[in-house]
Structure 1
Amino acid sequence: MDAQVIVVGAGPAGMMLAGELRLAGVDVIVLERLAKRTGESRGLGFTARTMEVFDQRGLLPRFGEIAISNHGHFGGLPVDFGLLDGAHQAAKSVPQSQTETVLEEWVLGMGCDIRRGHEVLAVKDNGNEVEVEVRGPEGILRLTSGYLVGCDGGRSLVRKALEFDFPGTPATLEMFLADVKGLDLAPRMIGQTLPGGMVMVGPLPDGVTRLIVCERGTPPQRRETPPAYEEVSAAWKRLTGDDISHGEPVWVSSFGDATRQVTEYRRNRVFLAGDAAHIHLPAGGQGMNTSIQDAVNLGWKLAAVVQGRSREALLDSYHTERHPVGERLLMNTRAQGLLFLSGPEMQPLRDVMSELIAYEDVGRHLAAMVSGLEIRYPVDGGRHPLLGRRMPGLKLSGPTRFADSTEVLHSGRGVLLDLGDNPELRRRAAGWESQVDIVTAELGPLPKDSPLNATTAVLVRPDGYVAWAAPGSHGDLPMALERWFGPRR
């Protein structure tokens, strides 16, 4: 075979997946239709959960100084994200182009084979391998791999070629997104509706202004090329009365409110991740962030199976865990779209929602939903409150060389935190050292309500989620280790 895994698409999801696979030593080829990065930045910033993901791989310093904020919204209604517990706040104004640059440099540094200017024409799952027909600079070629992952966006050729079911609702409107220089406009939050639609203004670095424009009643168009800036400025003038035609567009794009999700994230040897698996109205910057988290969930599992360390049944948990996350994503983005894109008839609901958000529990619930902090994967049995949730970032002391519970995940391996210096625990974990690092440590002072009080051991998956904890898990440690990391060696 040409590679153990082929990844189609070099966007944030594809690059993150390639990085996770290379961390585990998997041979990866990334195929990208475009000859170079576009420089466009549809995604802007990271949710708190994505900040955690980058931190657990030691990637945050590569982004330089990151502006963070507790200010967010749900459907244009202000939400205080400071209500959330966690080591990180959301990052603002990190352009997607920078995210793609950082991730590409990371995976290239690990020897990943990225082939730009290679357009996938056809995909065939032969049962024991996947065959890809590709048009590259040197003509048509065929590549084979053990597995293939489509990270090739909302119009995914991989999804279409293998006829994945993609139910949902079509677009009902068209919105313009433009980054423009030479404009002097006051910031305007999303959700400040106008009689004919909605506009948003957000300042970006280097004198660039981000505009979003939506005219109600404008039918969606299936475009093969980006809209002209003249369309954006004309719509802006109809809605606001202001002339912005003198602006200098950096780039212009359009999108709609189509909402769809594949019924299966895995079919035999082919997987879908990111926008290839789910499309929705951009609301709260969740699309890119969810896509990156799809990749992190899949990457370590696929690596373990490819290398023969875990049984293939482990791959089924990718759909089991991430499909419900996608469903929640589609639900909340549709709800947000109703709030900030509808006309005056929706104002009573906006007023009621504003009253509800003022209650701390409601605000925390909505903030966690948009941030991805509400995610809890199903775990077989057990009463420990952290089972299925992310391991919180906590300082470590004692005999360990690691500063905190995030640093122990930098290598992309599983971690067994022995918090009681228990030789018997370490003896029972013997045989899994090739996949799991056993770290004996102590936690610093914990609040009285911390879920880790009285906890003596925690098994953390490579993606940062807790698979077993003591006391509080049904089943012995070796059972959990075998479930997630394969048979004892």
Structure 2
Amino acid sequence: MNYEREQTEVVVVGGGPVGMLLAGDLAQQGVKVLLLERLEEISTRPKAGTFHTRTVATLARRGLLRLQPDSSSDYNVMDYQPFHFAGYPWLEVRGHSVEGPITLGLGQSDLERVLEKRALTQGADIRRGVTVTEILQDEKAVKVRYTTAQEEHAVSAEYGVGCDGARSLVRSSGFSVTDYPPTTWSVTCWAVVGNPRQLPPGWNTHPRGVTMVNLNPYGHSRISVFEFDGPASERRSPLSVQEFSQSLDRVLGQHIELSGVQYLDRLSDFIRIADSYRSGRLFLAGDAAHVHPPLGGQGLNTGLQDAVNLAFKIVSVIAYGADPSLLDSYDAERRPVGEAVVDNSRVQALLMNPAAEFSPMRSFFNRMLRETDVHDWLSDQISGHGLHYPTLHTTDPNIHEGRAGEFLPNITFSVSDGEISVAEALSDGKALLIVSAGTAITAQAVLEKVTHPRLRVLIPDEIPDGLPQAILVRPDGYIAWASSHLDNGVVTATHTWLGGSVR
């Protein structure tokens, strides 16, 4: 097979939401990207549907969501919304009200359609109905072989990204992993409930298991059943209506009449995480990098954040000559997030077990989460609101250590030609330098050095109290550099994160 027949800059394997967002971000900045997806069309099977505050903000900042502040335009105001941890109503998630809703209900297939349309509009080459059969790499390129219904194809690229899900072929092409074997199992479906009064809505713990029900008395309800008598013996076989009904009846202790059953599925608490998200010229994102039970809606949210983190760094290296070591920061920043999700997923699986031996643990967590600091820390872990990238810290004494690495809220600034929000300023995928008018006057010489095709400069009349007077924001919304005054440190930071030359 001649891999030189077709060349691209980045090949993305997998066209779910993570792959589509990544491809769109790359194409928006002029990187030649090829996305290979097995499915002929977007699946309508219900999947993830809860998007947390950081993901909502990320999508809004790409112009994919048009949202109004939930309650206040003050970026310091926090909103709270009831949520759960391990199925118990112990938790509220929180976020800045200026970003829109704290959680957003949106079908995964709806999001995929929006992301695919955006990627195509930006110029990504998307090929559906293909099967990737081989992935190789050497010191110069990634080489991918794939088939269509008619023939075999081969493509080479500078980098490859596996967004191909829990059974990732890319991950099996040179990545080591850490596995946590399953200890429990669950089944889920959509069905019409004969007598809705028999089925308690929401999360409920029973002597023999747990149920989670999105009850619809007038149509199909989503029903999930968790049992804790060990892993299922038939994890890979299709789930039958009879099996599901038997599991539901066992846990509830009574027969529930169901009809119109569809979208049957098996799940477990099996966990797998790649030991590194990078292997040479290959990267992993989303479920390809971290597999865990769908508790708290963390999987897809984490994967989308993987995509935006990796995309802007690949652009910096390919298009603007940034040091390739910048790509190492993807693993350094994102894998700890995946580890944290794995850890809290394992804890939730234990807390959900109704066995008496776990009751002291549940009581302890219940009491502990009444402490505000503990509650807010865990809330921020689940929603991503508290994410702070430690790799952005610096020893420069002029840098505001408490701000570098933070996600800049969606503040609206007054500038010479009107008002502009952070979300609006970042919508073109570029980085953002915000310098107060007074600081810009005193540091004009430095400001003239900070020029880059991927950098937008805002000079607002003033910057709100409590914020540094000069802030460099990465394309993913995180603060790369911040100081009380503008100096050559911002020039170095710009070249580090964005690259220093144009191809």
- Relative distance call for 1:359 and 1:227 in structure 2 (3 A) is same
2:92 maps to 81
1:251 maps to 263
Decide which of 375, 378, 392 is 1:366's aligned counterpart.
378
Greater displacement, 419-428 / 305-314 = 419-428
Residue 414 of structure 1 pairs with residue 414 of structure 2: no
Note the C-alpha offset of 1:154.
0.9
- Partners of 2:349 and 2:487 in 1: CA distance: 42
- Partners of 1:445 and 1:474 in 2: CA distance: 20
**Contact 2:470–2:485 under 8 Å retained in 1:** no
The secondary structure found in structure 2 opposite 1:403 is strand
Greater displacement, 292-301 / 194-203 = 194-203
The letter of the residue matching 1:393 is N
1:397 maps to 414
- Relative distance call for 1:431 and 1:458 in structure 2 (3 A) is closer
- Partners of 1:174 and 1:140 in 2: CA distance: 39
Decide which of 26, 37, 41 is 2:42's aligned counterpart.
37
**Contact 1:195–1:344 under 8 Å retained in 2:** no
2:22 maps to 17
2:496 maps to 483
Greater displacement, 399-408 / 357-366 = 399-408
Note the C-alpha offset of 1:445.
5.5
1:278 maps to 290
1:29-428 superposed matches below 5 A: 29-61=34-66, 70-81=81-92, 83-87=94-98, 88-160=100-172, 162-182=173-193, 184=196, 186-190=199-203, 192-203=204-215, 207-221=219-233, 223-224=235-236, 226-377=238-389, 378-379=391-392, 380-381=394-395, 382-399=399-416, 401-421=418-438, 422-423=440-441, 425=443, 427-428=445-446
Note the C-alpha offset of 1:218.
4.4
**Contact 1:133–1:141 under 8 Å retained in 2:** yes
Note the C-alpha offset of 1:189.
2.9
**Contact 1:83–1:363 under 8 Å retained in 2:** no
The letter of the residue matching 2:226 is C
Structure 2 gap segments, 5+ residues each: 1-5, 71-78
- Partners of 1:141 and 1:240 in 2: CA distance: 52
**Contact 2:437–2:462 under 8 Å retained in 1:** no
Note the C-alpha offset of 1:309.
3.4
Give the structure-1-normalised TM-score: 0.91
Note the C-alpha offset of 1:432.
2.9
Note the C-alpha offset of 1:470.
1.3
Note the C-alpha offset of 1:46.
0.2
Note the C-alpha offset of 1:89.
3.4
**Contact 1:384–1:471 under 8 Å retained in 2:** no
- Relative distance call for 1:398 and 1:38 in structure 2 (3 A) is closer
Note the C-alpha offset of 1:308.
3.5
**Contact 1:187–1:202 under 8 Å retained in 2:** no
2:74 maps to none
**Contact 2:168–2:288 under 8 Å retained in 1:** yes
Note the C-alpha offset of 1:106.
1.7
1:462 maps to 475
Note the C-alpha offset of 1:182.
5.0
**Contact 1:69–1:92 under 8 Å retained in 2:** no
1:168-223: CA deviations, max 9, x gaps? 21112221122224553555333x32111111101479833111111221433465
Give the structure-2-normalised TM-score: 0.89
- Relative distance call for 1:354 and 1:223 in structure 2 (3 A) is closer
- Partners of 1:131 and 1:71 in 2: CA distance: 47
Q: Percent identity?
A: 33
- Relative distance call for 1:426 and 1:168 in structure 2 (3 A) is farther
Note the C-alpha offset of 1:146.
1.4
**Contact 1:395–1:443 under 8 Å retained in 2:** no
- Relative distance call for 1:62 and 1:394 in structure 2 (3 A) is closer
- Partners of 1:11 and 1:83 in 2: CA distance: 27
The letter of the residue matching 1:48 is T
The letter of the residue matching 1:428 is V
1:74-97: CA deviations, max 9, x gaps? 222324536544534333432212
Note the C-alpha offset of 1:418.
1.1
Aligned alpha-carbon RMSD (Å): 2.5
- Partners of 1:132 and 1:205 in 2: CA distance: 49
The secondary structure found in structure 2 opposite 1:77 is coil
- Partners of 1:204 and 1:92 in 2: CA distance: 19
- Relative distance call for 1:135 and 1:435 in structure 2 (3 A) is same
- Relative distance call for 1:74 and 1:482 in structure 2 (3 A) is same
**Contact 2:190–2:264 under 8 Å retained in 1:** yes
- Relative distance call for 1:351 and 1:194 in structure 2 (3 A) is same
Decide which of 5, 10, 24 is 2:10's aligned counterpart.
5
Note the C-alpha offset of 1:166.
0.7
2:453 maps to 434
